[in-house]
């Protein structure tokens, strides 16, 4: 029973169907690994797939397909299956390659689809000599089988094509073994048997425990080395799930200088790193690494992966957005620093996380789909994936930006992304500031409009007045006085009612902006009158903010602004930004005023012992496929009898040239056998 079970298991593992099933699963997994970007931070996947599918895909290992246990197990089974398949087929394959089939019977030959009969002009001996000479000239190897009254010449050519089977299957074994060696299999073994476990990445390198460190003897790894300019590193960071492992390198890498060139629109064109490598013996080696030009040293290959900020020094103007916060102060900090920030009685921690000197965005606008197309534009509507985009792209560098987190005393953090330079939208200029509660969300941007002088100070001054409770009554009185200029008792009563309405509107607006006014309208105004009521409240806010603008000009000794179209648009944008500022989530607005950029390179350090096996396997696979496809096995049988010669041919594959080849051999042999004996052959 046990022998029968072992035999059945061997038959299963060595069967072609089992190997093809494994290859199909690997192919599907590879498609998933190609579509879904691998080894990204988990927050990126949470933002992409949402809270429902994120844990499902995490359990399936979609985020790191090629390093999952099930993928490696399938690779191992494919190695075993293919190896057993080779072992199983070796003996019959070699026997078939050596066999000439010289014992084939005449009845069997006459059943061949390619067979022809002819009458020889000479005896058996002469015909035999002529047939041997023809087969030798045609590149056949043959054996003769002499029988009672006839002789059978069994010839063959192209048997070497069967070697392609061994080459192709052996190549699959080598490639899979190389994939196992270069995958996470050695790492998983260390984590399973060596007590290694991933740790959190939010800590200093010196604080990472020994259980999360891998020695220089680790046989294979792939990690990132982060090096700011003027500094060095001797460890690589390996991402394992939502944690990291620290890989020690047998040398240290110093970044002397980082080079980056840009196209005219600001997109990176070339970036490279001038590095100095120093090993344990003190040997120093200088190299320049750039994209697609790696450098290998002591079995470790260094690739130019990307670049990041290396601790740029930022100068910030702090605009107060909350009561008790100074209107304007200045501060400095470097990317990566944690800086205390006081906003009135509240205490915050400012974490500067990222700086980008270039931001290339598509500032194009969508085409008018209703406009009739003509000429080439009409033709392009029918083009496929290679056609032009339906929107006119206008890639443009919109200047530096930086990202920071503002953490309160309870430890809750909110992330912000501020642009340094104003950005134009429909002829108007704005300062953009994005905010979000977590990295799983997209940034929501507040647009601060600039005045005619290209400054944001006007908007901040409006903010101080509109949201100051002590000034609401004065602001309301100014609006009422400008609207009702009469002196009669009726005018005075209307002025008092308008003052109360404006003050109430400002109080509502100070709570949650337009949202509070909208809720008030829904709660107090009948549905048919709500649209007209909303227009009234908008006009009241416009009048109030206009008076606030006049107050700022009066305080600074400037003339009143003209009530023209441009100032009306600025007024509308200012009110929208005032409403958005209530959801900004920070007591200050940090405007980037200057920076001293410091670059850092990100190198990928890999040790790939299976790379040579993969390259060798790829070469053998090409040779094997070539041999199986283009080296055709032909078997030609010539049965010589005193009064008849029977010619038959078989081929391992039905090809379009089989008929032509057989007819050529038949014509050649018929001409030889028809010649008299004294004619030279």
User: Tokens representing 571?
Assistant: 């007024």
pLDDT of residue 491: 63
At 97 the three-state DSSP class reads helix
Residue 191 has pLDDT above 90, yes or no: no
pLDDT of residue 199: 85
The order of strands in the sheet holding 313-320 is 328-334, 313-320, 588-596
pLDDT of residue 296: 93
Residue 212 has pLDDT above 90, yes or no: no
pLDDT of residue 192: 74
pLDDT of residue 487: 60
Distance CA 136, CA 132 (A): 6
Radius of gyration of the chain (CA): 41
Taking CB atoms within 8 Å and a gap of at least 24, the contacts of 660-663 are 661/634, 662/114, 662/116
pLDDT of residue 369: 45
Cα torsion 374, 375, 381, 387 to 10°: value is -140
Query: How does strand 395-397 pair with strand 599-607?
Result: unpaired
At 526 the three-state DSSP class reads coil
pLDDT digits (tens, 9 = 90+) for 562-604: 888 888 999 999 999 999 999 999 999 999 999 999 999 999 9
At 402 the three-state DSSP class reads strand
Distance CA 421, CA 88 (A): 71
Please compute the mean of the pLDDT values over residues 70-81 and round it to a whole number. Answer: 89
Distance CA 215, CA 161 (A): 47
Residue 351 has pLDDT above 90, yes or no: yes
Residue 373 has pLDDT above 90, yes or no: no
Residue 462 has pLDDT above 50, yes or no: yes
Q: How many CB atoms lie within 10 A of CB 146?
A: 11
pLDDT of residue 376: 41
Distance CA 542, CA 505 (A): 11
What lies within 8 Å, CB to CB, of 360 at 6+ separation is 265, 266, 267, 395, 396, 397, 398
Return the half-sphere exposure (C-beta side, CA atoms, 13 A cut-off) of residue 146: 3
Nearest to 308 by CA among 351, 350, 353: 353
Per-residue H/E/C for 8-44: HHHHHHCCHHHHHHHHHHHHHHHHHHHHCCCCCCHHH
DSSP secondary-structure letter at 293? B
User: Tokens representing 513?
Assistant: 């902006």
Please compute the mean of the pLDDT values over residues 266-277 and round it to a whole number. Answer: 86
3-state helix, strand, coil split of the chain in percent (to 5) is 45, 30, 30
What lies within 8 Å, CB to CB, of 44 at 6+ separation is 439
pLDDT band at 445; cut points 50, 70, 90 = very high
User: Residue 194: what are its φ and ψ, rounded to 5°?
Assistant: -100, 5
pLDDT of residue 644: 92
Residue 612 has pLDDT above 70, yes or no: yes
- Range with lowest mean pLDDT among 294-298, 373-377, 475-479, 541-545: 373-377
Return the half-sphere exposure (C-beta side, CA atoms, 13 A cut-off) of residue 555: 10
Residue with tokens 């602004």: 561
pLDDT digits (tens, 9 = 90+) for 317-345: 999 998 778 778 899 999 989 999 988 88
Kindly list the structural domains of the chain, giving each domain's residue range(s) and its CATH number in brackets, ordered by start: 2-95 (no CATH), 101-158+632-674 (3.30.160.110), 184-219+221-310+599-607 (2.60.98), 459-591 (no CATH)
Q: For residues 400 and 357, is the Cβ–Cβ distance under 8 A? A: yes
pTM passes above 0.85: no
Distance CA 75, CA 67 (A): 11
User: Residue 250: what are its φ and ψ, rounded to 5°?
Assistant: -80, 15
Residue 389 has pLDDT above 60, yes or no: no
pLDDT band at 3; cut points 50, 70, 90 = low
Residue 393 has pLDDT above 80, yes or no: no
Distance CA 376, CA 237 (A): 52
Distance CA 347, CA 350 (A): 10
Please compute the mean of the pLDDT values over residues 549-556 and round it to a whole number. Answer: 90
Please compute the mean of the pLDDT values over residues 486-491 and round it to a whole number. Answer: 62
pLDDT of residue 122: 86
pLDDT of residue 620: 94
pLDDT band at 248; cut points 50, 70, 90 = very high
């Amino acid at each position: 029973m046990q022998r029968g079970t072992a035999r059945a298991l061997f038959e299963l593992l060595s069967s072609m169907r089992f190997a093809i099933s494994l290859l199909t699963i690997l192919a599907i997994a590879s498609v998933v690994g190609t579509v879904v970007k691998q080894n990204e931070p988990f927050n990126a996947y949470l933002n992409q797939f949402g809270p429902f599918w994120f844990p499902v895909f995490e359990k399936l290992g979609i985020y790191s397909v090629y390093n999952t246990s099930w993928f490696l197990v399938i690779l191992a089974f494919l190695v075993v299956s293919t190896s057993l398949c080779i072992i199983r087929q070796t003996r019959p394959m070699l026997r078939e390659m050596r066999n000439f089939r010289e014992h084939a019977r005449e009845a069997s030959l006459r059943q061949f689809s390619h067979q022809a009969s002819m009458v020889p002009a000479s005896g058996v001996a002469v015909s035999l000599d002529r047939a041997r000479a023809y087969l030798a000239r045609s590149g056949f190897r043959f054996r003769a089988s002499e029988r009672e009254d006839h002789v059978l010449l069994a010839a063959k050519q192209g048997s070497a094509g069967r070697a392609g089977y061994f080459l192709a299957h052996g190549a699959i074994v080598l490639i899979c073994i190389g994939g196992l060696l270069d995958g996470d299999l050695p790492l998983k073994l260390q984590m399973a048997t060596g007590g290694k476990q991933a740790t959190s990445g939010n800590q200093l390198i010196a604080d990472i425990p020994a259980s999360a460190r891998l020695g220089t003897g680790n046989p294979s790894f792939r990690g990132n080395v982060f090096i700011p300019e003027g500094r060095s590193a001797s460890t690589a960071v390996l991402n394992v799930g939502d944690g990291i492992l620290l890989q020690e390198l047998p040398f240290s890498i110093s970044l002397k200088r980082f080079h980056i060139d840009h196209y005219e629109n600001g997109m990176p064109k070339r970036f490279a790193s001038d590095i100095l490598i120093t090993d344990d013996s003190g040997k120093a080696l200088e190299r320049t690494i750039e994209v697609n030009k790696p450098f290998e040293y002591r079995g470790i290959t260094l690739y130019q992966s990307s670049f990041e900020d290396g601790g740029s020094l930022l100068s910030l103007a702090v605009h107060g957005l909350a009561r008790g916060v100074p209107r304007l102060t200045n501060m400095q900090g470097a990317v990566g620093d944690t800086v205390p920030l006081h906003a009135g009685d509240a205490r915050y921690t400012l974490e500067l996380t990222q700086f980008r000197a270039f931001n290339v965005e598509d500032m194009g606008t969508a085409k008018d789909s209703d406009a009739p197309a003509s000429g080439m534009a009409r033709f392009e509507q029918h083009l496929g994936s290679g056609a032009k985009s339906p929107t006119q792209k206008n890639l443009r560098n919109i200047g530096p930006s930086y990202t920071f987190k503002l953490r309160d005393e309870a430890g809750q953090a909110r992330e912000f992304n501020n642009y340094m330079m104003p950005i134009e939208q429909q002829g108007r200029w704005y300062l953009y500031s994005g905010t979000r509660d977590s990295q799983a969300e997209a940034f929501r941007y507040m647009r601060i409009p600039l005045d005619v002088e290209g400054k944001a100070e006007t908007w901040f001054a409006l903010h101080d007045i509109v949201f100051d409770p002590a000034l609401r009554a004065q602001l309301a009185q100014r609006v009422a006085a400008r609207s009702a200029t009469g002196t009669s008792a009726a005018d005075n009563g209307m002025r008092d009612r308008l003052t109360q309405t404006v003050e109430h509107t400002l109080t509502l607006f100070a709570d949650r902006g337009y949202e509070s006014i909208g809720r008030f309208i829904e709660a107090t105004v009948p549905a048919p009158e709500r649209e007209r009521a909303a227009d009234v409240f908008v006009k009241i806010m416009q009048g109030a903010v206009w008076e606030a603008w006049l107050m700022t000009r009066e305080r600074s000794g400037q003339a009143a602004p003209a009530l023209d179209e441009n100032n009306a648009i600025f007024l509308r944008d200012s009110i929208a930004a005032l409403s958005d500022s209530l959801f900004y989530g920070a007591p200050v607005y940090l405007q980037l005023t200057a920076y001293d950029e410091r670059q850092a390179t990100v190198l990928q350090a890999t040790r790939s012992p299976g790379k040579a096996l993969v390259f060798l396997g790829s070469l053998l696979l090409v040779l094997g496929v070539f041999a199986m496809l283009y080296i055709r096995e032909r078997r030609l049988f010539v049965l010589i009898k005193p009064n008849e010669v029977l010619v038959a041919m078989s081929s391992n594959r039905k090809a379009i040239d089989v008929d032509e080849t057989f007819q050529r051999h038949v014509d050649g042999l018929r001409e030889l056998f028809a010649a008299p004996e004294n004619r030279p052959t």
